[in-house]
Amino acid sequence: MLSSGRTVSSRLLRPVAWFPLRLGSDGRAASSLHKEMIKKHELEVDELRPLYMDFQATTPMDPRVLDAMLPFQVNYYGNPHSRTHAYGWESETAMEAARKQVADLIGADPREIIFTSGATESNNMAIKGVARFYQAKKRHVITTQTEHKCVLDSCRILEAEGFDVTYLPVKQNGLVDLELLEASIRPDTSLVSVMTVNNEIGVKQPIKEIGKICRSKGVFLHTDAAQAVGKVPINVSDWKVDLMSISGHKIYGPKGVGALYVRRRPRVRLEPLQNGGGQERGLRSGTVPTPLAVGLGAACNIAMQEMEYDHDRVSMLANRLVQKIMSAIPDVIMNGDPEQRYPGCVNLSFAYVEGESLLMALKDVALSSGSACTSASLEPSYVLRAIGADEDLAHSSIRFGIGRFTTEDEVDYTAEKCIHQVRRLREMSPLWEMVQDGIDLKSIKWTQH
């Protein structure tokens, strides 16, 4: 049970006002109007904000990153592409130093790093750019059903242009079947795109093995590594990756900046999405925002120094959270492979509890029921459906994100509050009562009136 006298060492925590939950016509989720009322109330009330446990959606900026950026916001404001005076030279020097910091983190050459506005742009550039450049001879692309939405939508755009796209299913643990992947590669396949760490269930794909397969077949490999860079060791040469997408705000850097790694040898060619002054090797025209690039570089530099410590600490906190919850309440399922995963992303399904209802009950903890990019939808997560989760379990999932600044007290509070609210919601559930009476719910034929 939740101890009322517990003190949590976070400046963000204070219980928020509770609204009675209004169910929709399908009995599963609060109406959007009701949600807006809650949102409006919380933004207007002069209260401290909830604990932050959503590190897959975004991360707070590391203060050291801000320190590195500030001089370029105020004093060193030159255009890094101005070649005729000191203002431009000092900004260019800072930009190139940041480029090297990004490259060093993934074992690349600085000339292979292209600054972008974030991982969504990087993914669009890589997938559309490679497919369109090689379309005269190759018009087939392979990806998986559990990719980020920007990858899937980029592939659908290519399909509308006449390309053939194969969306590979994944196994129940969320991992790609390597034999199926190899069998799917055709003579006209130009690109395979598989994300390194999944943003919803934390599963880490065997990119090194996939890289070997793709290189042996003469096919380029792109990986969306937004959730992996700075958190797990990466070497693009060892992994035989040809293109890699990076996001600044997932590694305690600024929002609005990212990078795309594009291999030089063997050379990868891509058609630019954006045309203009020819910056970034002609692949991404536009003035590079020096403060943001410096911030991304600083975030990568800090991550390289502290990755091992961060990983060990996040692993400890994640194990603490999972053990506390799963030892206290039954019928809790961890989604995704238990071993091949990034520990800071914990996705749990609480049987006989509606995920949206649980989120509403846990308003003093910032959590998510899936990707922040699609969380406005009440449809069950397509990632969970792809790994074979039943619709009711897919609807009952909560993603817990643990990061560099998460404390043990925050983990303990979250676990205890979650246990308390799951028990409360199950006591209100007729399905839970039927299960306790030994009724097999799958054997019941439900009728609609």
Type of residue at 223: T
Angle (CA) 392-398-399 rounded to 5° is 140
What lies within 8 Å, CB to CB, of 449 at 6+ separation is none
| CA atoms of 229 and 195, how far apart (whole Å) | 11
> In the numeric block, which tokens belong to residue 138?
């190759």
Distance from first CA to last CA of the chain, Å, rounded?
A: 39
| CA atoms of 131 and 121, how far apart (whole Å) | 15
Supply φ then ψ for residue 106, to 5 degrees: -115, 10
| CA atoms of 39 and 364, how far apart (whole Å) | 13
> In the numeric block, which tokens belong to residue 412?
């303990």
| CA atoms of 192 and 207, how far apart (whole Å) | 11
Type of residue at 123: N
Q: Where are the alpha helices (DSSP H) in 218-267?
A: 236-239
Residue where the block lists tokens 């990858």:
151
359, burial (CB in 10 Å: exposed 0-12, middle 13-18, buried 19+): buried
Supply φ then ψ for residue 50, to 5 degrees: -70, 170
Contact 308, 102 (CB under 8 A): no
| C-beta neighbour count of 340 within 10 angstroms | 15
Residue where the block lists tokens 């019941």:
444
Type of residue at 129: G
What lies within 8 Å, CB to CB, of 258 at 6+ separation is 115, 116, 117, 118, 119, 120, 121, 122, 226, 245, 246, 247, 248, 296
Closest residue by Cα to residue 53 from 293, 391, 410, 366: 366
| CA atoms of 30 and 18, how far apart (whole Å) | 13
Active-site residue, from 150, 214, 345, 373 = 373
Q: Is 345 a catalytic residue?
A: no
Contact 371, 322 (CB under 8 A): no
| CA atoms of 77 and 83, how far apart (whole Å) | 14
| CA atoms of 302 and 252, how far apart (whole Å) | 9
Q: Which residues are catalytic?
A: 373
